[in-house]
Structure 1
Amino acid sequence: MKIILSIDPVRFPLTGIGRYTFELARHLKEIAQIEQLRFFSGYRFTDDLPKAVQSSKPNIFSPSNLGRTILKNSLTVEMYRLISTPIKRYALRGYSDYVYHGPNFYLPSFEGPSVCTFHDLSMFTWAHCSPPERVKYMRKEITLTLKRTDMLITDSEYTRQEVAAYFGWPLEKIRAVPLACSADFRPRTANELIPVLRKHGLNLHGYSLYVGTIEPRKNLDVLLDAYTLLPPSVRQQWPLVLIGYHGWRSEHLHARIKAAVSEGWVHYLGFVDTDELPLIYAGARVFVFPSLYEGFGLPVLEAMASGIPVVCSNASTLPEVAGDAAAMCEPQDVEALSNLIVMGLEDEIWRGKAIKKGLLQAAGFSWKRCAEETLAVYREVI
């Protein structure tokens, strides 16, 4: 079996789709049944995965970087399309005996069998949460991908059903292959945690935690409302820590966060180094994730693997990821979410059960399994 894997999304620091592509590539390399595994980056082949020191300079041909580089207006989008399409087609000629895998929605014109991973449908169902030119570009590219690909991979069964229904695509040509989280997310000792927590002004098991982009789709208005319902003494004892990039149309959220920070019950850390993030997870009292829509919900898995109780919404894919380990409620139910947060902070019996269930649930996900199930999809298209 011969495979070409696009590694365009692999940019450091690794997040989301970049992490998925990096881990998939690493584990595919370990599978003996794969005779040749070639990585395709931009418009050329490369023998090795990027390292952090190699990724400081953006690759203009990487779709994962379009939001920062060229997705500013319609003219640059079309220029990119006119330039990149024939270059990629030319670079991939003569490889029809390979399977080409696009891990990030995009699939160039390719003469052999091909597979593409769709992580969610946010560009169609939550378009108002992304820059309009990015939405326009991705919609056009996804439509082309559906014409080119032989099979699709999704991160969850929920997204598998959603893609089939939305596009009228045959369900038998879509496979759900769950993601995993890094082994860095695990329970830690106090000695491991305290130096990093002290650096960020945090106390061991002295805070609630949210990790994710600061954007409307993550339902942070409801989270802030729910935390406001907590007694002031509870909010002061266990402040809410928020970690994540500034998202699209997040000005209102940041204004609320700034006000809560000034009142002393929110800490906003912004982006946190990859080495420190697992430690901040493991040092939390409870993890809260009331998102309205996810393609998978990796932060929930990371929290469970870290030995932290989880409170989340029951929206989209989150029940698949959390199983029966998390306390869940409807995403817009502020009072229910507030009550669950109190339970996560104060109910020691529930906390103990949630930690044990969460560790067991998280153990069922692995990048080795992800690679093996992806290999099975390659076999199908061959």
Structure 2
Amino acid sequence: MKVIFGTDPIKYPLTGIGRYAYELANCLTKSSEISELLFLQGRRLSKQIPQARESSSSSQGLRQMVQKSKVASELYRLTAPWLKTLALKKHPDAIYHGPNFYLPPKVGPSVATFHDLSVFTWPQCHPQERVRFMQKELLLTMKRADILITDSDFTRQEVMDYFSLPASKVYSAKLASSGEFYPRDPESITAVVSQYGLQAGQYCLFTGSIEPRKNIETLLSAYERLPLSLRKAYPLAISGFKGWRSESLHVRFEQAEREGWLCYLGYTKSSDLPYLFAGARSFLFPSLYEGFGLPVLEAMASGVPVVCSNSSSLPEVVGECALTCAALDVETLTLLIHKSIEDETWRGSAISGGLSRAKTFSWQRCAAETIHAYQQV
């Protein structure tokens, strides 16, 4: 079996889909089921997995210039897929895997990963131009792909139901946390988190883009209902990019910071993130919708209790190891956060249960399930 794997998502900063592509690519290189494995970055084929480097380069500068120009951006959008098609035509016997929703036109045997259906089912959580573009492109992917892969059983069922697809067309390959996420000693944690004004075990954590789908407004409302003394003893640390429609949230961040119960960290370096997780008193993730919900798995692997919403795929990831409630239930979320901070009996159970559950997810398993999907092609 010959496979060409798309690596465009593997770039700095390594976000969720980039992490998925990087970890899966590394596991695929070790598979005896694949006789030849090539990587497609842009229109270039290589036997080497690209690295997500933090240092800026001339190519990154060029990319930023293209993104700022509407004409250049549109030209790139129209031509880039066809350049991939030309590169793939030289390998008609290979299965092409697009790990980030998209497939180029006139592609041969192909697989695409659908991470979620939010542009269809939660369009209000995205800019209109993104919804229009992605809906159009993803419908094209539906027509081009022999097989679709999803990150969870929830998303698999959602894709089948929404597009009336047979079960033989859609397969799930569940994600895993990186090996960098594990319980760490307080001294090593303190050395990193002190740079952010935090103390090991003395803060609650949220990570994710600052955007409507993450439901941060509900998190803030629930947190500010806690006693002020508890909030100051365990401030809420928020790590994530400033995203779409987040201006009002940043106003609330500033107010909470003045009151002494919130630390907005902005984007956190990938090398610091495992320490930030391991040092948290609890991890809070009341997201409205997730195709998988990798941060809750990273928290459990780090030995940190989790409080999350019971929406979409999250119950599938956390099982019985987390405290869950309806995403918009402010009062219950406050109670659960309070319990996650102070109930030592529950915390001990959540930590041990979460560590055990996290071990049931692995990138090796994800690769095996992915290869099973390839075999259907």
**Bucket of the pairwise TM-score, normalised by the shorter protein:** over 0.9
What's the counterpart of residue 147 of structure 2? 151
User: Where does 1:172-321 land on structure 2 (aligned, <5 Å)?
Assistant: 172-321=168-317
C-alpha contact (below 8 Å) 1:73/1:133 kept by paired residues? no
What's the counterpart of residue 119 of structure 1? 115
Q: Normalised by the size of structure 2, how large is the TM-score? A: 0.95
What's the counterpart of residue 84 of structure 1? 80
CA distance in 1, matches of 2:288, 2:144: 31
CA distance in 2, matches of 1:77, 1:12: 20
**What is the DSSP-based 3-state SS (H/G/I as helix, E as strand, rest coil) of the residue aligned with 1:249?**
coil
CA distance in 2, matches of 1:171, 1:279: 40
Distance 1:346 1:66, change over 3 A: farther
Structure 1 window deviating more from structure 2 (14-23 vs 190-199): it is 190-199
CA distance in 1, matches of 2:236, 2:129: 34
Deviation at 1:58, TM superposition (A): 7.8
Write the letter of the residue equivalent to 1:199: Q
Q: Normalised by the size of structure 1, how large is the TM-score? A: 0.94
What's the counterpart of residue 33 of structure 2? 33
CA distance in 2, matches of 1:337, 1:358: 19
Write the letter of the residue equivalent to 2:19: R
Deviation at 1:166, TM superposition (A): 1.6
**What is the DSSP-based 3-state SS (H/G/I as helix, E as strand, rest coil) of the residue aligned with 1:105?**
coil
CA distance in 2, matches of 1:58, 1:310: 41
C-alpha contact (below 8 Å) 1:92/1:110 kept by paired residues? no
CA distance in 1, matches of 2:176, 2:240: 20
Matched, 1:99 2:95: yes
Identical amino acids, percent of aligned pairs: 52
Deviations 1:182-233 (A, max 9, x none): 1110000112111112211111210111011111111111111111110111
CA distance in 2, matches of 1:295, 1:146: 17
CA distance in 1, matches of 2:254, 2:168: 48
C-alpha contact (below 8 Å) 1:118/1:152 kept by paired residues? yes
CA distance in 2, matches of 1:69, 1:333: 43
Write the letter of the residue equivalent to 1:275: S
**What is the DSSP-based 3-state SS (H/G/I as helix, E as strand, rest coil) of the residue aligned with 2:174?**
coil
Contiguous gaps of at least 5 residues in structure 1: none
Deviation at 1:131, TM superposition (A): 3.0
CA distance in 1, matches of 2:217, 2:83: 44
Deviation at 1:134, TM superposition (A): 2.5
C-alpha contact (below 8 Å) 1:310/1:326 kept by paired residues? yes
**What is the DSSP-based 3-state SS (H/G/I as helix, E as strand, rest coil) of the residue aligned with 1:31?**
coil
C-alpha contact (below 8 Å) 2:43/2:83 kept by paired residues? yes
Deviations 1:2-38 (A, max 9, x none): 0000001000231100000011110100112211000
Deviation at 1:74, TM superposition (A): 7.3
Deviation at 1:89, TM superposition (A): 1.9
Deviation at 1:95, TM superposition (A): 1.7
C-alpha contact (below 8 Å) 1:129/1:249 kept by paired residues? no
**What is the DSSP-based 3-state SS (H/G/I as helix, E as strand, rest coil) of the residue aligned with 2:21?**
helix
Deviation at 1:94, TM superposition (A): 3.4
Deviation at 1:73, TM superposition (A): 8.5
What's the counterpart of residue 355 of structure 2? 359
What's the counterpart of residue 330 of structure 1? 326
Matched, 1:109 2:105: yes
Write the letter of the residue equivalent to 1:183: G
Write the letter of the residue equivalent to 1:295: G
Deviation at 1:71, TM superposition (A): 6.2
Distance 1:54 1:188, change over 3 A: closer
C-alpha contact (below 8 Å) 2:10/2:52 kept by paired residues? no
C-alpha contact (below 8 Å) 2:107/2:144 kept by paired residues? no
- Please point out which of 336, 339, 345 is paired with 1:349: 345
CA distance in 2, matches of 1:151, 1:55: 36
Deviation at 1:172, TM superposition (A): 2.3
Write the letter of the residue equivalent to 1:239: P
Distance 1:368 1:234, change over 3 A: same
